[in-house]
Amino acid sequence: MNMEVDAAVIPVKGVEGQKIAVLGLGRSGLSAARALRDGGAEPLCWDDNPAARDRAEAEGFAVADLTRAETMESVRSLIVSPGIPHLYPEPNPVIALALDLGVPVDNDIGLFFRSAADRGWGDYDVQPRIVAVTGSNGKSTTSALIHHVLESVGRDTQLAGNIGRGVLDIDPPGDGGVVVLELSSYQTDLARALTPDVAVFTNLTPDHLDRHGGLGGYFAAKRRLFAEGGPDRAVIGVDEAEGRYLANQLGEGPTDDRVIRISSGQKLTGPGWLVYARKGFLTEWRKGRQVGSIDLRAIPGLPGAHNHQNACAAYAACRALGLAPRVIESAFHTFAGLPHRSQIVAERGGVRYVNDSKATNVDAASKALRAFDRLRWICGGLEKEGGLEALLPATGSVIKAYVIGREAAAFAMTLRGVETEVCTDMATAVARAAAEAQPGETVLLAPAAASFDQYDSFEKRGEDFVTQVGKLPPL
């Protein structure tokens, strides 16, 4: 059986005639296999899931058990999907075998940058550029906002990576086109080529620590985006020590404007290129002179200090691409925001309902809580490493918390000083919050926890919230 599938549109360069193994046959794995085949390679595919192997065979790919040494010895390299551990907490057995045999390990991001680096996409008057965004929180909104601004001014732009399309599934960019990539630590940690023209670091807070062997390993994975290829411009959030350290490492001195420092909540000073937001106003300084300012308070798609940080990062990236401040400001006003990220889904009886299901860790939830006054807070799920202690200072605006999840009672007990009600499921939480909410209040889903105890993903959790709000009886 051979199923017709659209060919990958970014063929991998430099692999003609090579036998290359592909581990993990989800979206990125199959995309990589197609792009390798289009580049003249012979992919050998494997996934622990028989259904995934069947899908690959239906597309005409060879399926081979990569746990067998004789198979791994026959390949030039191994391409790994991002969800598969390659080092911590321990390497996947296939990757461990590749390490033992000296087989190079890479991922689809590395293949993309390797193929983009030779600029073989076409003949251009203005070469396409790549903007890559990483960080703990805000990278999806920042990436989408950059893409939105570029679309608003008529630039050829595509959004890919951890958001939008797979990196090898995009169309070859047009003259002067811009590819905007959101990259997770899983993706930057393993890629053997990372050469963006503009690289963005939003912030760093503890997350995925088991996968990276601790906070230092997590930061090192993010840092690779800047250290491996040397972007022409780096936009660095300096609200944490790691960001200040990274900016210091990249700059040759305080006036080196290859580094644009950004902040939310503090005024930045000095002769360099600076973008910061304070009290709802974004300000840009360059060479000791103010050159731009935006009132962010009037932009509905960017509520709260955490979105103001995203706005600073996107603004700085767009300025690095040569866009004027007023052009960027105009585009900001038409940005609708992303689903599951401070998304206003309804207003009934003077009560707003906001879906921030993407707030899966303490830092993201803290920022969501600080973005609104007078909150009915729906929270809970699979608690992450580190507990909730750091969240408590942000709960001052919470009138009451409605806790969901299989361990809702235990989760509620950690919220000291907050009135709580154990609801367990989303339908009960939404119904109870709606019944008690008064005009001027906000019902906010900001779980501060992973979704996997009850849902397949944070998206499914957010969709359930939206569904339950839609089922509320008419007022």
Report whether 341 contacts 445 (CB < 8 A): no
Report whether 454 contacts 464 (CB < 8 A): no
CB contact set of 326 (below 8 Å; sequence gap of 6+) = none
How many helices (H) and strands (E) in the chain?
Answer: 16, 20
137 is known to lie in a ligand binding site: yes
What would the two tokens of residue 245 be? 């350290």
Report whether 117 contacts 292 (CB < 8 A): no
166 is known to lie in a ligand binding site: no
Dihedral pair phi/psi, residue 258, rounded to 5° = -70, -20
SS3 355: strand
279 is known to lie in a ligand binding site: no
> What is each CA distance from 408 to 209, 403, 427, in whole angstroms?
23, 6, 14
SS3 285: strand
Please count the other Cβ atoms lying within 10 Å of the Cβ belonging to residue 282: 27
What would the two tokens of residue 285 be? 């300084």
141 is known to lie in a ligand binding site: yes
334 is known to lie in a ligand binding site: no
138 is known to lie in a ligand binding site: yes
SS3 string of 52-108? HHHHHHHCCCEECCCCCHHHHCCCCEEEECCCCCCCCCCCCHHHHHHHHHCCCEECH
Question: What kind and span of H or E run contains 159?
Answer: strand 157-161
What would the two tokens of residue 393 be? 């200072």
Please count the other Cβ atoms lying within 10 Å of the Cβ belonging to residue 228: 18
DSSP string, 373-396: SSEEEEE-SBPPTT-SGGGGGGGG
139 is known to lie in a ligand binding site: yes
Dihedral pair phi/psi, residue 138, rounded to 5° = 90, -5
Annotated binding site for ATP: 135-141
Annotated binding site: 135-141
